[in-house]
Chain A
Amino acid sequence: MWPYILRNLLQRLVLLFIVSVIAHGVVHLAPGEPTEVDPSNPRMKPEDIVKIRKAFHLDEPLHLQYAYWMRDLFSGELKSFKDSQPVLPKIWDRFLNSLPLFILATIIIWTLSFPTGIHAAVRRGSVYDRSTTFIAYTLISVPGFFLSYLAILWVVSVLGVPVIGMRTFGMEDALPLFRGMDRLWHLVVPSLMTALGGIAVLSRYVRSQMLEVIGQDYVRTARAKGLPEDQVIYRHALRNALLPFVTMFGFLLPGLIGGSVIFEQIFAWPGLGRLGYDAILSRDFPVILTINFIAAALTLAGTFMSDLLYAAVDPRIRLH
């Protein structure tokens, strides 16, 4: 077990390094300049641009720029081109904003998918099963941003209340209860929209897992023993069907970062996804690269965790 973990960690570190080098190259080779040194800005004189480029190390060869980036990143002194603020605290702040959205969306996905999926599997072929299948595929095929716009328009024209941002503006002096409820309300629509695709996919997945397990011999045995149907489904079948989902927790990890660029953009949510998107538009290299680096690190950590979890939950699997 331990040799496996060590070897795997080492491999992943090497991989992370390679990913960061490639990402650094790609970001710098893409056309366009950081807006701060954009020569098409009529207010900038060429001398000033030369000076700013120098301050940003943009006139150095790529491998040196990579070294500067790494040095600054690990000494915590890496700064954004855009506003000269340290990158890591900036990312942390945005991460805290994205977190409630991510948690609520995850709760909605996992609480809704299981009952619908199990029910569809048990009543296979029924009207309920067919209609959930139809709805699930509709949700998978319709782009999320389109549904979001429809939902926003509906809420605004029918209910007449704000839905954008993390809270209603101008509520700072209102009673705490009003403010708390307002914040919750602002979470509802975006997290539901983020969750829709997830619900569709996960409930299909639950259904197929259940169907597979229900066809197994031990379920037939349980039924033959004369156990009540509920006990057969929820104790004998569901437990075994759950196995693959345990590992999915590992894959949730990278979703914490580029999770919902589109939804954050539509709902004006000041989260991490938007930070990355804006950074790309203004070619803010330190921010793009650091977010990319963290995302890569989390992806690698996530798959690593899945491997470990799988071994921990399923006694048939051994790591060595």
Chain B
Amino acid sequence: MKLKTILIFAPLVVSVILVQSYFWVPSYEVQTVGNPTRVEKFINSSIGDAKILNPIIAADGASSDITTLVFEGLLDLDENLNLRGRLATEWQVTEKAYLIVVPGASFADGSAVTAITLEQRLRQAIASGLVPGLKDQLLDLRRIAAEERVQDVSLPGEKGEVQTVRVRLHLPARIQISLKEVDQDLFKKLATVIGPKYADSAPYGRWIEVEPANMREAVKPQFSQLVPVFEHNPIIEFKLRQGVRFHDGHEFDAGDVKFTYDAIMNPKNLSPRTSDFEPIKRIEISDPYTIKVVYKRLFSPAINAWMMGIIPEHLLNDAALKKEMDRRNISAELRETFAMRESEFSRNPVGVGPYQFVEWQSDEMIHLQRNEDYWEGAPQYKDYYYRIIPDKLTQEVEFRSGAVDRYSARPHQIARYKKDTRYQSFSSLGFGYTYIGYNNRLPLFKDPRLRKALGMAIDVKEIIKYILYDEAERVTGPYPKNTQWYDQSIPPLPYDPAGAIKLLNELGWKKNADGWLEKDGKLLEFNLLTNNGNPIRKAVVTIAQNAWKKIGVKCNTQLFEWAVFLQDFINPGKFDAVVLGWSLSQDPDLFQLWHSSEAGPQKLNFVGYNSPQADELIVRIRKEYNVDKQRELTHRLHRQIANDQPYTFLFAPRVTELLDKKIVMMEKDGSYSKIKPSKSGRIYYSFNKWKKLEHAPEF
């Protein structure tokens, strides 16, 4: 029977064709069979795909993994996490401060303030040392005549819309003071000359005209900012590297830096980075390789924004975008909104970085190739692949079969992999930590002693040992533990349930007949929440619940999907306590997380921490330009927050990276050595020197 024969042979033939393909595929041990160029390629993997490869628009981790290779900023961090010049060869921070000559004000001796007398007296006071420490710092002091200026002010309208109003400023005469270094206390020091109440008599009303006039009341709260009596203008002057070329051969210069800034601030581009660059007043180009950035106010973290990749002006300016619209036949309606986000550049980026873009297949991979013309010398690897593997287990499987070159192990796998001689492993502390946050606004949690007692009841060592397999470290405060901002000398809360009960008894909580703590007939009871999908947080919730139960605190727990968790509980501030984590940066500025003004709905200080001492420190830190002084302030802030215990700080997880053992650090002369991570633990710091050998080396 023909039909019978077909029915029997068809599956056999299909199986044979499928099975024989196995014999053609390379394995982990012999990756070069039929494919000798495998060793020239580095293959990375990621859970999620990149979204948009334009550094000024990208906001996700995967996109920035790629943009940091394709683009380069003026600065980056060296192995000790200090700033290092990249496209900038050197930079200098100076300051120009402005003091308005307030009409009608008078000096301490009663004589009236005029521009001339003010200038004379300041000059004298500084030269004579009456104002301490300014003599060496002063570069220049001069009078500036009155001037007119027109400016747009944006006002938050109803329903979150933004309204712009035009204001005409009649700026009075001012004194301009140029300093070698930024001094946030300059005007405090000058108070010996102008008196402490100098600004009080400032007639803002006379200096400002609002059009239309009926909006005057709405603008009024901003008057003192529109014409500030005391104004600091920090200035950063960058010298740029010469002879650096974009991947298309066009030379990089100061115009590209200014263009990058303009593009970020252009509302059409919807850049998520505007807040980093908002403090900039203006950018001046002195010559093609010198650029001066003038800031509106004291904000020291602003310099970190220059780590952002510089984009090419000649490919993205209005003329280039118009050409692209013509070529792609964009309809007239869409031309209105066409901007960088829509440009093909976002999927086909051109930068000056060590790798240049080749290809992007969505949700599969991104392919980069080394930039032979890179200013620091071309990297060792010829190709860089960024694979999208959405599942952690499949990532591991691909790593073990040699189709991916690195894998970051999960806590329970680390011990096993560290012993495995086929791989090399690197362990480092990340920039994140996990904590229990209490809603500080609630009367229950108002007292820091109660929060401290709750923290003392939890055995964090046990959590680290059993939940994280010892792959984490105890933390005591708000900064990442591997930065200089963290004060290593602060002791963690002791694990002391008996002490916790004692502390709670002192606060009036007594055990009732059922063993629960009670005060005025009310149980010490609250809800502890966290988001679904994070097994470690879930385990922490369970351990905390159990630990508190032991001291008589009743805690109910619940898990929610991330979006619901944020929308229904965190943003409106409707929660008692939560288990969450932060992932931070090397930035010492913690304004958004801890300042009392950031405690509103949808803000990051969602626990409502409110401490005047901490507020003052936070503001001083972001205004301080001297790193040593900054460190001293951050240590004080750390201690303040550790005393207040708005969170119970738990642990910072360690991250373990695994690499194929055949990867080494290759010098230009052909000698190679084992890969050495930087002091802060980043192994990719020396990535441009990495190279894979055909066989595993012996050291």
Contacts and interface: CB of A to CB of B under 8 A. Distances in A.
Interface of A: 31-33, 35, 39-48, 50-52, 55, 77, 82-85, 90, 93-94, 107-108, 111-112, 114-115, 118, 149, 152-153, 156-157, 159-166, 168-171, 173-175, 177-178, 181-182, 184-185, 187-188, 192, 230-231, 234-235, 238, 265-268, 270, 274-275, 278
B402 A162 contact: yes
Given A39-B602, A168-B25, A162 B401 contact: yes
A175 B34 contact: yes
Interface in B256-297: 267, 270-275
A182 B398 contact: no
Given A35-B60, A83-B51, A173-B35, 15 more contacts: A40-B566, A44-B272, A50-B160, A50-B162, A82-B51, A84-B52, A84-B342, A164-B397, A165-B398, A173-B37, A238-B3, A265-B390, A268-B390, A270-B363, A270-B388
B267 A51 contact: yes
Interface residues on B, range: 35 or more
A128 B271 CA distance: 66
Contact of A170 (B19, B41, B341, B592): B41
Contacts of B571: 39-40
A35 B60 CA distance: 10
Contacts of A168: 25-26, 403
A77 B571 CA distance: 35
B96 interface: no
A122 B545 CA distance: 62
B385 interface: yes
B1 A43 contact: no
A112 B331 CA distance: 52
B669 interface: no
Contacts of A31: 561, 563-564, 567-568
A235 B385 CA distance: 55
A184 B563 contact: no
B14 A171 contact: no
B43 interface: yes
Interface in B3-24: 3-4, 7-8, 10-11, 14, 17-24
A139 B212 CA distance: 76
Contacts of B362: 90, 93-94, 270
B226 interface: no
B563 A33 contact: yes
Contacts of B8: 115
B401 A160 contact: yes
Given A161-B22, A234-B1, A45 B403 contact: no
B346 interface: yes
Contact of A169 (B20, B52, B387, B568): B387
Nearest to A75: B331
Given A85-B347, A162-B403, A230 B393 contact: no
Nearest to A46: B160
Contacts, number: 202
A149 B22 CA distance: 18
A188 B23 CA distance: 13
Contacts of B331: 77
B302 interface: no
B401 A188 contact: no
A156 to B, nearest CB: 5
A270 B364 contact: yes
Contacts of B36: 173
Nearest to A97: B364
Contacts of A50: 160-162
Contacts of B275: 43, 45
A135 B626 CA distance: 73
A177 B51 contact: no
A41 B391 CA distance: 24
A27 to B, nearest CB: 13
B401 A43 contact: no
A265 B363 contact: no
A174 B35 contact: yes
B25 A84 contact: no
B242 interface: no
Given A108-B14, A169-B403, A170-B385, A164 B394 contact: yes
B59 interface: yes
B24 A52 contact: no
Contact of B391 (A84, A192, A266, A270): A266
B401 A163 contact: yes
A168 B402 CA distance: 9
A182 B567 CA distance: 47
B597 to A, nearest CB: 15
Contacts of A39: 571, 602
B1 to A, nearest CB: 5
Contacts of B18: 184, 187-188, 192
Contacts of B394: 152, 164, 266-268
Contacts of A108: 14
B35 A185 contact: no
Contacts of B401: 156, 160-163
23 contacts: A31-B564, A40-B566, A45-B275, A77-B334, A83-B51, A84-B52, A84-B342, A84-B346, A112-B11, A157-B400, A159-B27, A161-B25, A161-B27, A163-B401, A169-B385, A170-B383, A181-B23, A182-B24, A182-B25, A235-B3, A268-B391, A268-B398, A270-B364
